[in-house]
Structure 1
Amino acid sequence: MRTRPLAALAATSALVLAAGACSNTPAAPAGQGASGGAGTITFASVGSDKAGAEAAAKAFTAKTGTQVTVTITDVDNYQTTLRTQLTSGTAPDVFFTWGGDGNPMAMKVVQKAGLIADLSGYSFVKDVPEAFKSVTQVDGKTYVAPTTTAFIGAAYNTEAMEKAGWKAPTTWSDMLKLCGTAKSAGKSLFAYAGATPWNTQLIPYALTPTIVYGPNPNFASDMSEGKAKFADSGWVTAFDKYTEMYKADCFQDNSLGTTYEDALKLVGQGKAMASVQVNASMVAILQSAPDGTKLSFEPLPANDDAASTRMAAALGAAYGLNAKAKNMDGGKAFIEFLTSPEGQAVYATGTAAVPVLPASSDYKQDPALDTAVEYLKNGKSDPFMDQLWPNAKVQQTHFEVLQQLLAGKTSSVDAAKEMDKVYAEGA
């Protein structure tokens, strides 16, 4: 469980922070340590990782004294804004990048466009887990610096749950029953951010490990080989269950018009018991919660066989070095810091996450993540689905059809067929 004081310690409120950075000269081998260096480093991240990014920047300043300008942008705007900046030559030196493929700022997409630097010479490369190499490398070369392992599940306000006398459900039927119970009590079981497009994907991502990828571990490769489709798979079942949750009053009133920030406030204030989120969102939940509030992060049940439940777990935050960085030396040094034991501990603590690379002894796993980490260790997790999709259009179509689905403007089968169309376009 996570308490508010710990999150408050890790989080800072300013969008522009001083952070230390220095680096080797461009010709020097990467990964040999940072000393010297000058000039401001520009650094961009996304709203869900705000606390970790700012904490890393602050620690970097304290360590070296070089200034870093930090810009935080919400996910949906970030993907379009950063891509435009990279193309126009105005992008920051170091920026948040998603692993694998599947959106405009995913590693393979920006690497193919020549917008991101090769990091293969850095010492951290040898420590990248085998499971993450496919989403951090292209043709054996590493292009992003991994910072955290991310999970998708239900972030519960355990204080509110205990006060109501409820426990996190472990089966689909119990979950739907609790949705009704919460509604009758003037609450909602889940806060849903239907007005924030990237949030709409999280429930299918939480359901499909149990429904699709657990029963068929080869589903992603089957799709790439043309042997499987969304419309002929458990994805349709997941969409049906998504609609069932909506109709069963699992979400708050006006859920389709609620933003990400407002949805998290509902959980922090105990008006909603939980929200299906990435684990980094727990820090934001606590910002609107009373001191001492505890959270737990649990899987979302997809059927009535609790033993078969799985979770989505994958490379979470990762950072790339602008191939045309204004401060290349500083950018290299900041990458070194992010991948150092100190940097990994600072960032993971700030975002209530698990570091990908070896971390210093300062890192203590947030107890709220105990369940998720057990699922990961026990082989009961699957990668985020979009990291293995062939192009960014699939994710964008996913956002669109889910909004149409809950609004009653399309069916689960037709939604899946739309995704199949853009998937078939390939890379």
Structure 2
Amino acid sequence: MTDTSRTPRTPGRKARATRRLAVGAALLAAATALTGCTGAIDTTSSGSNSGGISGVIRVSSQTGQPYLKEAADQFQKLHPGVTVQFVQSPSNTYQTTVRAQLAAGHGPDVMFVWGGSGNSMATKTLAQAGLLEDLMSQPWASQLGDTATSLVSEQGKVYAFTSYQNPTGVVYDKDLLAKLGVSVPTRFSELLNFCRTVSSKGIVPIALGNQTGYLNTEVPIELANTLVYSQDPQFAQKVTTGAVTWSGSELWRSSLTKAHEQYVQMRDANCFQPNSTGYSDTQATQLVTSGKALGVDVISPAIDDLKQGNPNLRYDMFEIPATENPADTYLTTNTGAAYAVAKSSTNKATATAFINFLAQPEQMEAASKANYGVPYKSTPDATVQPEMQGIASLYQANKTALWPTNYWPNYEVKQTMIAVDQDLILDKKSVQEAVDAIQNVLHGA
């Protein structure tokens, strides 16, 4: 994967011998939202002033991350001797900054991390480097669903808490859509016509914040996920179990190629603002809030930025179609906010207690709502917020696929894709060159 929205995921506890196979299988099953957390997580031990919970903990997160400050305030009230200090970094520098701090031995006590192994601050990547504390003995660790467990575990141990997934797609101004006389496209050909019509009226159809690294890859990933999973809903599971490899799968390579061809077609149809690589994620959302763009392709937590930027607008969300059959479309999701304790923390008792506090049912619900998340698997009582009703039918049908970054063997693949997709959108690389570069990094995987 991703990001994100969602409810906690917990690692299943089974016999050691069978557990690793279960974790592996669940990892790819996550791509189709195989299982989620449907029951409450018992964290009764986290609400009392137990011994050792005192002093200062430093919590690292991306700038503007909603909910976390409120949770910290509540935690400090429960534990009067505790001080929670926040250290925040912008999304485009967070991974580099915090990873360097950890490597130097003076990182945060608690940090925001990603699931899987797709970047330098992903749970598996950090665990493999020996930078995270094992949290497997915590009360929530056996109650995360298989999907969540697979994303935050390594070698049979759980290293982070995570509770929801975040839909990825185009968040748009509903009233401007009506004013422009266009409708949400459900076929790729309709998408291109949609872009031509909207742009001809002086409005950017889909703003992109491609200066913020990973956003260079967002549209191609959404397109590729639909192309892959509409043909093989079990693709993720097959990759995880080794039945299929990234470098050997013709379905993956052909879908990746077509997705990049479509990305170029969208650029040429004026779907995006000129020089999208010169816009950060914040600047791209500002194009929508100022009325200069109809929508912006984002992960759902950015809805909060849009609402703060212009609370008078009414928002909804749609997934980019990649085929001529609306039934093919899959909703791309990202792992929601996950939190881990640094191995180097000098106040692990308090840091771990804070994680346990975040795992309480009422805190999980608050986090998911604040970050516009949804549970990993749709259940009858799972709600989709009003600003995401356009993707509700896909989610409720469990037609979801996590970002492939959650399954890639290392974060170099993502960095390569970010670089080549930037060159592609700037017309400095061909589709073939971009795909070859990505596949070369995936060689053997």
Which interval holds the TM-score relative to the shorter structure?
0.7 to 0.9
Q: Give the percent of matched residue pairs that are identical in Structure 1 and Structure 2.
A: 28
Q: Which residue of 2 aligns with 1:266?
A: 287
Which range moves more in the overlay, 130-139 or 256-265?
130-139
Which range moves more in the overlay, 262-271 or 218-227?
218-227
Query: Which of 67, 70, 78 in structure 2 is aligned with 1:55?
Result: 70
- Pick closer, same or farther for the CA change 1:39–1:159 going to 2, 3 Å: farther
What is the 5 A alignment of 1:346-425?
346-354=366-374, 365-424=384-443
Q: Which residue of 2 aligns with 1:201?
A: 217
Q: 1:93 offset after TM fit, Å? A: 0.8
Q: Which residue of 2 aligns with 1:27?
A: none
What is the 5 A alignment of 1:24-423?
32-36=45-49, 37-47=53-63, 50-65=65-80, 66-220=82-236, 221=239, 224=245, 226-228=247-249, 232-289=253-310, 291-354=311-374, 365-423=384-442
Q: Which amino acid aligns with 2:359?
A: T
Q: 1:411 offset after TM fit, Å? A: 1.2
- Pick closer, same or farther for the CA change 1:179–1:225 going to 2, 3 Å: closer
Q: Distance in 2 between matches of 1:228 and 1:101?
A: 20
Which range moves more in the overlay, 174-183 or 162-171?
162-171
Q: Distance in 1 between matches of 2:338 and 2:134?
A: 14
Q: 1:231 offset after TM fit, Å? A: 7.9
Q: Distance in 1 between matches of 2:214 and 2:227?
A: 21
Per the normalisation by structure 1, the TM-score is 0.86
Q: 1:63 offset after TM fit, Å? A: 4.2
Instruction: Answer yes or no: is the 8 Å Cα contact 1:229–1:420 preserved in 2.
Output: no
Q: Distance in 2 between matches of 1:334 and 1:388?
A: 28
Q: Distance in 2 between matches of 1:153 and 1:124?
A: 31
Instruction: Answer yes or no: is the 8 Å Cα contact 2:114–2:123 preserved in 1.
Output: yes
Count of matched residue positions in the alignment of Structure 1 and Structure 2: 393
Instruction: Answer yes or no: is the 8 Å Cα contact 2:186–2:326 preserved in 1.
Output: yes
- Pick closer, same or farther for the CA change 1:267–1:351 going to 2, 3 Å: same
Which range moves more in the overlay, 227-236 or 97-106?
227-236
Instruction: Answer yes or no: is the 8 Å Cα contact 1:115–1:324 preserved in 2.
Output: yes
Which range moves more in the overlay, 130-139 or 408-417?
130-139
Q: Which residue of 1 aligns with 2:8?
A: none
Which range moves more in the overlay, 135-144 or 331-340?
135-144
Q: Which amino acid aligns with 2:204?
A: S
CA deviation profile, 1:93-149 (whole Å, cap 9, x unmatched): 110111111111111111011111111112212331222222121232211100321
- Pick closer, same or farther for the CA change 1:295–1:63 going to 2, 3 Å: farther
Q: Which amino acid aligns with 2:67?
A: G
Which range moves more in the overlay, 301-310 or 130-139?
130-139
Q: 1:341 offset after TM fit, Å? A: 1.1
Q: 1:314 offset after TM fit, Å? A: 4.2
Q: Distance in 1 between matches of 2:390 and 2:170?
A: 11
- Pick closer, same or farther for the CA change 1:338–1:41 going to 2, 3 Å: same
Instruction: Answer yes or no: is the 8 Å Cα contact 1:196–1:259 preserved in 2.
Output: yes
CA deviation profile, 1:330-375 (whole Å, cap 9, x unmatched): 10111011111121122222222225699xx9x9752223343432
Instruction: Answer yes or no: is the 8 Å Cα contact 2:128–2:154 preserved in 1.
Output: no
Secondary structure of the residue aligned to 1:353 is coil
Q: Distance in 1 between matches of 2:67 and 2:115?
A: 18
Per the normalisation by structure 2, the TM-score is 0.82
Q: Which residue of 1 aligns with 2:40?
A: none
Q: 1:404 offset after TM fit, Å? A: 0.7
Q: Which amino acid aligns with 2:165?
A: T
Secondary structure of the residue aligned to 1:152 is strand
Secondary structure of the residue aligned to 1:233 is helix
Q: Which runs of 5+ in 2 are unaligned?
A: 1-42
